[in-house]
Structure 1
Amino acid sequence: MNESLVRLLKRIPTINTYGNKRKAYVSIIVTSISQVQKDCLYVAINGDIEEAINFGARAVVSENPPEDNFLGKVVYLHVKNINETLSKLWAAWFSYPSRKIRVIGVTGTKGKSTTCNLIKNFFISAGIKAEALDTTNLDSKQIQSGLAEIVKQGCKYAVLEIPLKVIQDYKISGVKFDVAVFTNLSREEIVYRQIFARLFREVSMSVINRDDPSWRSYKLASKGALTRNYSFRQDAYCRAKNIIYRNGIFEFNLKLERYTHKFSTPKAGDYNISNILASVTAVRFYKVNWERVIEAVGRMV
């Protein structure tokens, strides 16, 4: 299929555009010279621009301004961050799937997979279609196509597992997040807390582990968004209290808003309790029925 370059670039900032993009249509987006074909949009991550033009590229995206001999041969888009631009181009190519559903992003060092699956299953237990997507080994195209498939399945919610590298490489820049969840940071990754914090800049609500030393970074990044903390050590919106380990079972009281409920779980460790708190806090933003959440937690823990 051919896509209008004007439509693809509608939400993408450029430093400058050379050539008439209004009459330009592209057949495919490619990032490697070996993929270049007639009328493609070539995102020049590795250079080779002149060769791509000779092979028939219709438009080129680059962080460098064009050489004089490129002008008049292609539509040339000079951008500040090529990886961020690529992510947003794929979002446009797949017709912005994250704007058609509610997307929850879960990031941190540990607990991401468990938290994502808990959130997904809480929605399903309440009769709401939801799916989880692990972005760890995906590129920006695969993330957008994965979201498009979740939309196609009729889901109302998508829960994305997001490691540091995915944020660092701007692979989710084209995703509109509704809620961001922070689990924890290891000593090795704490130096990257400002990179993790990118996820929290344009969300409706942030769910933050107040027991983690870096929690303030995410609260500051979430300026303007609703912030909900969770903890098992101090006062928070969602808190685990009276934690007891007895006969191989952890027992605790989960307190959220005016609700308090006692749970027991054979899954050892503070991380497991934190994952439950994070998940419950996230789904309560959507007013998911509390009794259904309690039932689901009881089955899963």
Structure 2
Amino acid sequence: MRLKKILKEIGHNADRYVDIDIKGISDNSKYVREGFLFLALKGERLDGYDFIQEAIDRGARVVVSYKDFIAPCGVVKIIVENKREVASDIACAYFENPSRRLKIVGITGTNGKTTTSYLISNIFEQAGFGTGLIGTINYKIGNRTIPAVNTTPGAIELQGYLSEMLGDGLEFVVMEVSSHSLQQERVRNIKFSSAVFTNITQDHLDYHKTFEDYFEAKARLFNLLEEGARAVINIDDEYGKRLMESLKTKPITYGIKADSDIKSKIHKMDIGGSIFEVLSPYGKFEIKTKLIGLHNIYNIMAAIGVGILFGIEEEHIKKGVETLEGVKGRLEELSYGQPFKVFIDYAHTDDALRNILGILKPLTRGRLIVVFGCGGDRDRAKRPLMGRVATEFADYVIITNDNPRSEEPTLIANEICNGFIDNFRNYTVILDRYSAIKEALRVAKNDDIVVIAGKGHETYQVLKDKVIHFDDKEVVESILLNKA
């Protein structure tokens, strides 16, 4: 890609600069190679300006910076405003806007994005469409799977992945779209063929400050829809109703309580899954799923709505839903011959925790034992809320570390405990997560259910001064097999 072409695409004066061939682009100096364009912008934690020399040493031929610097001979210097749009615009231009030639479905909401994305992807694949996936667990590009760093990658990585998907001949991309990515303009130049709103509950208020700001960040996705494209919205959620009323094009709606386009009549819901009847623009049909709980019925309705929007036949929708047996770290049952049940789940908000405990409590013949913590340097207001939810449902609670980051773990635990219902005494605090899980498995008896919440699919733990390998599933397996 020629430099002048990129500059013209982003509306910058190309005539002032010598035209050279750009071999790649990066905003991380460590990934710069010979002939690269380096973006030296100021982020929330790091300042790209501080890494200009390293990028040049690694072979950068063009440096785009928000602050002037002395460029050595052979390096093109371009000064721009320090705006988040710059990275998105340059990435879009360099990769020639791949989203124009893909059908992209964006999913936003506090809870349910990952499972909904897997369901939609499965529906498209059952219908014979090559489908890419970008989300919290991983990025799937053809036969290649990349562990996810962020729910939605940075603008440069995102455009690069979309370009790869296009090159692999994929037709659809299903993408989880976080509120952070919308606020930070990472998805600014992507045109979405449809967008899904699952729900909104308290989360990320450390970043967005107010719930209204959080909602408005989520709602930005629907401004990125292609002309005439339709959304799929949960109108059992009050904010979903509000969003629906703001859209120019009538969405497909879903819900159980509300008068919606897609509804469900539940026949059976237990620890083995659900059987329910779907009433939709396609008529009535039955769904049998191994996904547990009411929240997953909502996720399935969202996926059905997307399938209908794209004209996928009922048999492919039904098969796409019913063949998805589970999602890693989402109410995932771990069975190693023990006489009690163990589940791990990513639930890290009070609403998500309420969903899973509300499902499991009526199905628990013994005690419901819950192990969880809350992340450090994140929304503090949800800590007592999660504490309250845990004590409303659980018979025994073990408070432990999640990803404490730079915060004092004891203070995080205290803030969780401040939300406990009155007179709840059946709990303990064991900050070491391995020891907490081991204790839960030690005290569990026949017919008990142990829930280990907060991390789900994650394979790391962020401590004050380091990141260590930590996988709840591996820990449970090692303890139970050693017990056996």
TM-score, length-scaled by structure 1: 0.81
How many angstroms does 1:236 deviate by?
0.9
Corresponding residue for 2:184? 169
For residues 102 and 322 of structure 2, what CA distance do their matches in structure 1 show?
28
Moved more, 159-168 or 191-200: 159-168
Contact 2:132 2:174 in 1 (8 A): yes
1:247/1:140 CA distance change after superposition, 3 Å: closer
Say whether 1:41 aligns with 2:37. yes
Question: What is the letter of the counterpart of residue 78 of structure 2?
Answer: Y
Corresponding residue for 1:256? 280
**Partner SS for 1:211:** coil
Contact 2:40 2:52 in 1 (8 A): no
Moved more, 41-50 or 100-109: 41-50
How many angstroms does 1:50 deviate by?
8.0
How many angstroms does 1:59 deviate by?
4.3
For residues 43 and 87 of structure 1, what CA distance do their matches in structure 2 show?
11
For residues 135 and 272 of structure 2, what CA distance do their matches in structure 1 show?
31
For residues 120 and 50 of structure 1, what CA distance do their matches in structure 2 show?
40
1:238/1:58 CA distance change after superposition, 3 Å: same
Corresponding residue for 1:141? 156
For residues 33 and 131 of structure 1, what CA distance do their matches in structure 2 show?
28
- After TM superposition, list the pairs within 5 Å mapping 1:60-99 onto structure 2: 60-63=63-66, 74-79=76-81, 81=83, 83-99=84-100
How many angstroms does 1:27 deviate by?
4.0
Say whether 1:269 aligns with 2:302. no
Question: What is the letter of the counterpart of residue 216 of structure 2?
Answer: Q
For residues 309 and 51 of structure 2, what CA distance do their matches in structure 1 show?
47
**Partner SS for 1:178:** strand
For residues 166 and 146 of structure 1, what CA distance do their matches in structure 2 show?
15
1:249/1:143 CA distance change after superposition, 3 Å: closer
Contact 1:164 1:195 in 2 (8 A): yes
Measured against aligned partners, the alpha-carbon deviations of 1:63-94 in whole angstroms (never above 9, x if no partner) come to 56x58x88xx845342462x322123222222
Contact 1:37 1:57 in 2 (8 A): yes
Measured against aligned partners, the alpha-carbon deviations of 1:99-145 in whole angstroms (never above 9, x if no partner) come to 22111111212111111111111111112221212265233232222
For residues 257 and 245 of structure 2, what CA distance do their matches in structure 1 show?
21
Contact 1:89 1:174 in 2 (8 A): no
1:77/1:263 CA distance change after superposition, 3 Å: same
**Partner SS for 2:181:** helix
Question: What is the letter of the counterpart of residue 271 of structure 1?
Answer: H
How many angstroms does 1:286 deviate by?
1.1
For residues 64 and 90 of structure 2, what CA distance do their matches in structure 1 show?
10
For residues 135 and 282 of structure 2, what CA distance do their matches in structure 1 show?
33
Contact 2:133 2:175 in 1 (8 A): yes
For residues 233 and 189 of structure 2, what CA distance do their matches in structure 1 show?
23
Question: RMSD of the alignment, in Å?
Answer: 3.3
Structure 1 residue ranges without an equivalent (≥5): none
Measured against aligned partners, the alpha-carbon deviations of 1:167-223 in whole angstroms (never above 9, x if no partner) come to 2332222322211111112223544111111111021221111111211453356x3
For residues 258 and 52 of structure 1, what CA distance do their matches in structure 2 show?
58
Structure 2 residue ranges without an equivalent (≥5): 42-46, 137-147, 205-210, 326-484
Contact 2:233 2:251 in 1 (8 A): yes
Match of 1:210 among 228, 231, 235: 235
For residues 154 and 251 of structure 2, what CA distance do their matches in structure 1 show?
29
- After TM superposition, list the pairs within 5 Å mapping 1:97-176 onto structure 2: 97-134=98-135, 137=149, 138-176=153-191
How many angstroms does 1:57 deviate by?
5.8
Say whether 1:219 aligns with 2:221. no
Question: What is the letter of the counterpart of residue 173 of structure 1?
Answer: R
For residues 59 and 242 of structure 1, what CA distance do their matches in structure 2 show?
59
Question: What is the letter of the counterpart of residue 134 of structure 1?
Answer: G
Question: What is the letter of the counterpart of residue 259 of structure 1?
Answer: G
How many angstroms does 1:158 deviate by?
0.8
Contact 2:269 2:293 in 1 (8 A): no
Moved more, 168-177 or 119-128: 168-177
Corresponding residue for 1:30? 26
Corresponding residue for 2:315? 291
Corresponding residue for 1:180? 195
Question: What is the letter of the counterpart of residue 254 of structure 1?
Answer: V
Moved more, 115-124 or 19-28: 19-28
How many angstroms does 1:234 deviate by?
1.1
Question: What is the letter of the counterpart of residue 27 of structure 2?
Answer: T
1:58/1:257 CA distance change after superposition, 3 Å: same
How many angstroms does 1:280 deviate by?
0.7
Contact 1:102 1:156 in 2 (8 A): yes
How many angstroms does 1:37 deviate by?
7.1
Question: What is the letter of the counterpart of residue 26 of structure 1?
Answer: I
How many angstroms does 1:33 deviate by?
5.5
Question: What is the letter of the counterpart of residue 42 of structure 1?
Answer: F
Question: What is the letter of the counterpart of residue 76 of structure 1?
Answer: I
1:41/1:220 CA distance change after superposition, 3 Å: farther
**Partner SS for 2:291:** coil
1:31/1:227 CA distance change after superposition, 3 Å: same
TM-score, length-scaled by structure 2: 0.53
Higher-Rg member (1/2): 2
How many angstroms does 1:252 deviate by?
2.3
Contact 1:19 1:74 in 2 (8 A): no
Corresponding residue for 2:6? 8
For residues 323 and 39 of structure 2, what CA distance do their matches in structure 1 show?
48
Which structure would you say has the larger RCO, counting Cα contacts within 8 Å and 6 or more residues apart?
Answer: 1
